[in-house]
Amino acid sequence: MFNKIICGAESISTVVGKCVAWFTLLMMLLTCYIVVARYGFGVGSIALQESVLYLHAMVFMLGAAYTFKDDEHVRVDVFYREFSARKKAWVNIVGGLIFLLPFSGYTAYMSYDYVAASWRVMETSQEPGGLPFIYLLKTLIPLMMAMLIIQGIADILKNLGVVLQTNTSKEAL
Protein backbone atom coordinates (compact mmCIF):
# COMPACT_ATOMS: atom_id res chain seq x y z
CA MET A 1 0.00 0.00 0.00
CA PHE A 2 2.84 2.38 0.83
CA ASN A 3 4.33 1.75 -2.61
CA LYS A 4 1.07 2.82 -4.29
CA ILE A 5 1.01 6.04 -2.27
CA ILE A 6 4.68 6.72 -3.01
CA CYS A 7 4.31 5.98 -6.74
CA GLY A 8 1.15 8.07 -7.01
CA ALA A 9 2.69 11.06 -5.25
CA GLU A 10 5.92 10.84 -7.19
CA SER A 11 4.12 10.52 -10.51
CA ILE A 12 2.19 13.73 -9.75
CA SER A 13 5.42 15.52 -8.89
CA THR A 14 7.14 14.17 -11.99
CA VAL A 15 4.36 15.09 -14.43
CA VAL A 16 3.98 18.60 -13.01
CA GLY A 17 7.75 19.07 -12.78
CA LYS A 18 8.41 18.02 -16.36
CA CYS A 19 5.58 20.20 -17.68
CA VAL A 20 6.81 23.18 -15.70
CA ALA A 21 10.37 22.63 -16.92
CA TRP A 22 9.19 23.59 -20.40
CA PHE A 23 8.15 26.95 -18.98
CA THR A 24 11.84 27.83 -18.63
CA LEU A 25 12.27 27.58 -22.41
CA LEU A 26 9.12 29.63 -22.96
CA MET A 27 10.32 32.17 -20.39
CA MET A 28 13.67 32.52 -22.15
CA LEU A 29 12.09 32.91 -25.60
CA LEU A 30 9.58 35.43 -24.27
CA THR A 31 12.32 37.42 -22.56
CA CYS A 32 14.33 37.53 -25.80
CA TYR A 33 11.25 38.70 -27.68
CA ILE A 34 10.54 41.42 -25.09
CA VAL A 35 14.13 42.72 -25.28
CA VAL A 36 14.20 42.76 -29.09
CA ALA A 37 10.76 44.37 -29.31
CA ARG A 38 11.57 47.02 -26.73
CA TYR A 39 15.10 47.98 -27.70
CA GLY A 40 14.97 47.07 -31.38
CA PHE A 41 11.53 48.42 -32.27
CA GLY A 42 10.57 50.61 -29.31
CA VAL A 43 7.52 48.47 -28.53
CA GLY A 44 6.85 47.45 -24.93
CA SER A 45 4.23 45.27 -23.34
CA ILE A 46 3.45 45.12 -19.63
CA ALA A 47 1.39 41.96 -20.20
CA LEU A 48 4.34 40.14 -21.76
CA GLN A 49 6.67 41.27 -18.99
CA GLU A 50 4.18 40.04 -16.40
CA SER A 51 3.90 36.77 -18.32
CA VAL A 52 7.59 36.17 -17.68
CA LEU A 53 7.00 36.86 -13.99
CA TYR A 54 4.10 34.37 -13.93
CA LEU A 55 6.18 31.73 -15.69
CA HIS A 56 9.04 32.30 -13.26
CA ALA A 57 6.68 31.85 -10.31
CA MET A 58 5.25 28.66 -11.80
CA VAL A 59 8.70 27.18 -12.44
CA PHE A 60 9.82 27.68 -8.87
CA MET A 61 6.58 27.05 -7.02
CA LEU A 62 5.24 24.13 -9.01
CA GLY A 63 8.70 22.63 -9.54
CA ALA A 64 9.52 22.51 -5.83
CA ALA A 65 7.95 19.10 -5.20
CA TYR A 66 9.69 17.64 -8.27
CA THR A 67 13.02 19.03 -7.06
CA PHE A 68 12.37 17.59 -3.60
CA LYS A 69 11.42 14.21 -5.10
CA ASP A 70 14.75 13.99 -6.91
CA ASP A 71 16.63 15.14 -3.78
CA GLU A 72 17.97 18.19 -5.62
CA HIS A 73 16.74 20.74 -3.07
CA VAL A 74 19.05 22.86 -0.95
CA ARG A 75 20.34 20.92 2.03
CA VAL A 76 22.85 21.80 4.72
CA ASP A 77 25.14 18.90 4.01
CA VAL A 78 27.83 19.14 6.68
CA PHE A 79 27.27 15.74 8.28
CA TYR A 80 24.54 14.20 6.14
CA ARG A 81 26.76 13.06 3.26
CA GLU A 82 28.82 10.89 5.63
CA PHE A 83 25.79 9.19 7.19
CA SER A 84 24.76 5.64 6.45
CA ALA A 85 21.58 5.07 4.43
CA ARG A 86 19.69 4.31 7.65
CA LYS A 87 20.84 7.53 9.38
CA LYS A 88 19.99 9.56 6.27
CA ALA A 89 16.54 7.98 6.27
CA TRP A 90 16.03 8.94 9.93
CA VAL A 91 17.15 12.52 9.23
CA ASN A 92 14.71 12.70 6.31
CA ILE A 93 11.84 11.27 8.38
CA VAL A 94 12.43 13.60 11.33
CA GLY A 95 12.99 16.60 9.03
CA GLY A 96 9.79 15.84 7.15
CA LEU A 97 7.72 15.40 10.29
CA ILE A 98 9.16 18.33 12.25
CA PHE A 99 9.89 20.87 9.50
CA LEU A 100 8.43 20.15 6.07
CA LEU A 101 4.90 18.99 6.88
CA PRO A 102 4.17 21.53 9.65
CA PHE A 103 5.65 24.44 7.67
CA SER A 104 3.81 23.47 4.50
CA GLY A 105 0.54 22.93 6.33
CA TYR A 106 0.84 26.20 8.21
CA THR A 107 1.72 28.14 5.06
CA ALA A 108 -1.19 26.59 3.16
CA TYR A 109 -3.54 27.44 6.02
CA MET A 110 -2.27 31.00 6.40
CA SER A 111 -2.45 31.65 2.66
CA TYR A 112 -6.11 30.66 2.45
CA ASP A 113 -7.58 34.09 3.36
CA TYR A 114 -4.99 35.87 1.23
CA VAL A 115 -5.84 33.78 -1.82
CA ALA A 116 -9.60 33.78 -1.14
CA ALA A 117 -9.65 37.59 -0.90
CA SER A 118 -7.87 37.78 -4.25
CA TRP A 119 -10.40 35.41 -5.82
CA ARG A 120 -13.35 37.35 -4.34
CA VAL A 121 -12.36 40.50 -6.19
CA MET A 122 -10.78 38.65 -9.15
CA GLU A 123 -7.62 40.66 -8.49
CA THR A 124 -5.86 42.06 -11.52
CA SER A 125 -2.56 43.76 -12.17
CA GLN A 126 -2.18 47.32 -10.93
CA GLU A 127 -0.31 48.19 -14.10
CA PRO A 128 -2.26 49.48 -17.11
CA GLY A 129 -2.18 46.74 -19.72
CA GLY A 130 -1.12 44.15 -17.16
CA LEU A 131 -2.54 40.65 -16.80
CA PRO A 132 -5.88 40.22 -15.07
CA PHE A 133 -4.85 37.02 -13.27
CA ILE A 134 -3.19 37.97 -9.97
CA TYR A 135 -5.66 35.68 -8.18
CA LEU A 136 -4.30 32.73 -10.20
CA LEU A 137 -0.73 33.70 -9.37
CA LYS A 138 -1.55 33.82 -5.66
CA THR A 139 -3.22 30.40 -5.92
CA LEU A 140 0.23 28.95 -6.56
CA ILE A 141 1.04 29.41 -2.86
CA PRO A 142 -1.39 26.81 -1.41
CA LEU A 143 -0.94 24.65 -4.50
CA MET A 144 2.81 24.53 -3.91
CA MET A 145 2.26 23.66 -0.26
CA ALA A 146 -0.22 20.90 -1.14
CA MET A 147 2.24 19.39 -3.60
CA LEU A 148 5.05 19.58 -1.04
CA ILE A 149 2.85 17.89 1.56
CA ILE A 150 1.99 15.07 -0.85
CA GLN A 151 5.63 14.63 -1.86
CA GLY A 152 6.74 14.98 1.77
CA ILE A 153 4.45 12.15 2.86
CA ALA A 154 5.79 10.00 0.02
CA ASP A 155 9.36 10.81 1.06
CA ILE A 156 8.66 9.95 4.70
CA LEU A 157 7.09 6.64 3.66
CA LYS A 158 10.02 5.86 1.35
CA ASN A 159 12.52 6.58 4.13
CA LEU A 160 10.44 4.58 6.58
CA GLY A 161 10.83 1.68 4.14
CA VAL A 162 14.61 2.14 4.24
CA VAL A 163 14.61 2.11 8.05
CA LEU A 164 12.34 -0.94 8.25
CA GLN A 165 14.32 -2.73 5.56
CA THR A 166 17.61 -2.24 7.40
CA ASN A 167 15.97 -3.37 10.66
CA THR A 168 14.65 -6.51 8.95
CA SER A 169 18.08 -7.18 7.38
CA LYS A 170 19.77 -6.94 10.79
CA GLU A 171 17.22 -9.29 12.36
CA ALA A 172 17.83 -11.85 9.60
CA LEU A 173 21.52 -11.95 10.48
- Per-domain residue ranges for the chain? 2-172
> How do the pLDDT tens digits run along the chain, 173 residues long?
788 889 999 999 999 999 999 999 999 999 999 999 999 999 999 999 999 999 999 999 999 999 999 988 877 778 888 899 999 999 999 999 999 999 999 999 999 999 999 999 999 999 999 999 999 999 999 999 999 999 999 999 999 999 998 666 665 54
Q: What is the rounded CA–CA span in Å between residue 83 and residue 164?
A: 17
Structural contact between residues 99 and 63, judged by C-beta atoms closer than 8 angstroms = no
- 42: alpha, beta or left, given left = phi > 0 and alpha = psi -120 to 50? left
Other Cβ atoms closer than 10 A to 117: 12
